[in-house]
Amino acid sequence: MNKIITQLTPEEKRQQNLEQLANYRPIDDDFMREIFRNNLELAQYVLRIIIDKPDLILTKEETQYDLQHLFGERSICLDVFGVDDKNQQYDIEVQRQDQGATPRRARYHSSAMDVDNLKKNQQFDSLPNTYVIFITENDYFGKGKAIYPIERMNLATGEPFSDGEHIIYINGAYDNREDTSDLAKLIHDFRCSSADEMLLPLLAERTRYFKETPEGVEYMCKAMEKRITDEKIRIAVRMLTSGLLTAEQIAAFTDLSIEIIKKIENDMKTVSA
């Protein structure tokens, strides 16, 4: 039986991280966020392919962009958020599971971007064009297409509604060997765990940095450790909220120090005060 994470030595934890890193692909959201982080050039390159606009100029790119509103709605965190020189806005989401890519979730992401963009007293025509892009591991619609653009239509006239909202699904399972388009190559590369297997140099270069250079590997190992710690903290918060366990029991269960549990508990009291 494999040791659970709390029983591993630091060297065993590092080896586990290295094995996980070797298997990471761009379509794995944890890895995808890191290869895009602070990389405007790569985000622009990928969006040019997906949107099919070779002249698209991205002016801002941010990973894990929080949309937290003041009206009591459920907040969301965008995997990759971008803005171009025409103030058009882009949300790229990687969805491994079909339930994370439902049409109503796409609708909510699009709506949340609208709420985030319209300021007090602004006219509705001030809303920028938005693109919500789901890159799914499976063919969500099951029709064998590489890309599924979703647009509102005036059903009476058969014409586009032209409200500036665009939703796009990229089929991560698309595998047509006769398709030599950049989009087909991008989808292929999203499934690759090795930079040597990739077809697009820019994505391969970024992947190679995080998997094969000492600096990139060290960065990824630290990011993976932080993700594990963040998850433990989320579990601790839920346990504290339930009120069923003592701080000492939660510390033992999560492998967080009692000092950290006490700090989380105090922070929660401060927020609720």
Average pLDDT, rounded, for the chain = 90
Q: Which long-range contacts (CB under 8 A, 24 or more apart) does 54-61 make?
A: 56/84, 57/84, 57/85, 58/82, 58/83, 58/84, 58/85, 58/90, 59/83, 59/84, 59/85, 61/36
Q: What is the pTM of this model?
A: 0.85
pLDDT digits (tens, 9 = 90+) for 217-254: 999 999 998 888 888 998 999 999 998 889 899 988 89
Give dist(CA 212, CA 234) in Å, integer: 31
Query: Are residues 156 and 80 both part of a single domain?
Result: yes
Question: How confident is the model at residue 31, as a pLDDT?
Answer: 94
Query: Are residues 177 and 258 both part of a single domain?
Result: no
Does any domain span residue 142? yes
3-state SS string over the chain?
Answer: CCCCHHHCCHHHHHHHHHHHHHHCCCCCHHHHHHHHCCCHHHHHHHHHHHHCCCCCCEEEEEEEEEECCCCCCCCEEEEEEEEECCCCEEEEEEECCHHHHCHHHHHHHHHHHHHHHCCCCCCHHHCCCEEEEEEECCCCCCCCCCEEEECCEECCCCEECCCCEEEEEEECCCCCCCCCCHHHHHHHHHCCCCHHHCCCHHHHHHHHHHHHCHHHHHHHHHHHHHHHHHHHHHHHHHHHHHCCCCHHHHHHHHCCCHHHHHHHHHHHHHHHC
Query: Are residues 78 and 162 both part of a single domain?
Result: yes
Query: Are residues 167 and 250 both part of a single domain?
Result: no
Query: Are residues 65 and 199 both part of a single domain?
Result: yes
Q: What is the mean pLDDT of residues 157-185?
A: 97
Which residue, chain included where needed, has tokens 């025409």?
86
Does any domain span residue 11? no
Question: How confident is the model at residue 9, as a pLDDT?
Answer: 81
Does any domain span residue 135? yes
Q: How confident is the model at residue 69 (pLDDT cuts 50, 70, 90)?
A: low
Longest Cα separation, the chain: 66
pLDDT digits (tens, 9 = 90+) for 190-213: 999 999 999 999 999 999 999 999
Question: How confident is the model at residue 75, as a pLDDT?
Answer: 67
pLDDT digits (tens, 9 = 90+) for 96-139: 888 889 999 999 999 989 988 888 888 999 999 999 999 999 99
In this predicted structure, the answer to whether residue 5 has a pLDDT above a threshold of 50 is no
Query: Are residues 84 and 119 both part of a single domain?
Result: yes
pLDDT digits (tens, 9 = 90+) for 81-99: 999 999 999 999 998 888 8
Give dist(CA 141, CA 98) in Å, integer: 10
Q: What is the mean pLDDT of residues 257-270?
A: 89
Q: How confident is the model at residue 76 (pLDDT cuts 50, 70, 90)?
A: confident
Amino acid at 14: R
Give dist(CA 267, CA 44) in Å, integer: 39
213 forms bridges with which residues in the sheet?
none
Does any domain span residue 93? yes
In this predicted structure, the answer to whether residue 72 has a pLDDT above a threshold of 60 is no
Query: Are residues 181 and 260 both part of a single domain?
Result: no
Does any domain span residue 3? no
Question: How confident is the model at residue 268, as a pLDDT?
Answer: 87
Does any domain span residue 179? yes
Question: How confident is the model at residue 271, as a pLDDT?
Answer: 72
Of 187, 212, 237, the one marking the end of a domain is 212
Q: Specify the number of domains making up the chain.
A: 2
Query: Are residues 151 and 43 both part of a single domain?
Result: yes
Query: Are residues 95 and 230 both part of a single domain?
Result: no
Of 184, 212, 240, the one marking the end of a domain is 212
In this predicted structure, the answer to whether residue 159 has a pLDDT above a threshold of 90 is yes
Q: How confident is the model at residue 64 (pLDDT cuts 50, 70, 90)?
A: confident
Query: Of all residues in the chain, what percent carry a pLDDT higher than 70?
Result: 93
Give dist(CA 255, CA 3) in Å, integer: 14
Give dist(CA 1, CA 149) in Å, integer: 46
- Domain of 262 in residue numbering reads as 224-272
Query: Are residues 243 and 108 both part of a single domain?
Result: no
Question: How much is the CA Rg of the chain, to the nearest whole Å?
Answer: 21
Query: Are residues 144 and 230 both part of a single domain?
Result: no
Query: Are residues 193 and 257 both part of a single domain?
Result: no
Does any domain span residue 190? yes
In this predicted structure, the answer to whether residue 168 has a pLDDT above a threshold of 90 is yes
Does any domain span residue 193? yes
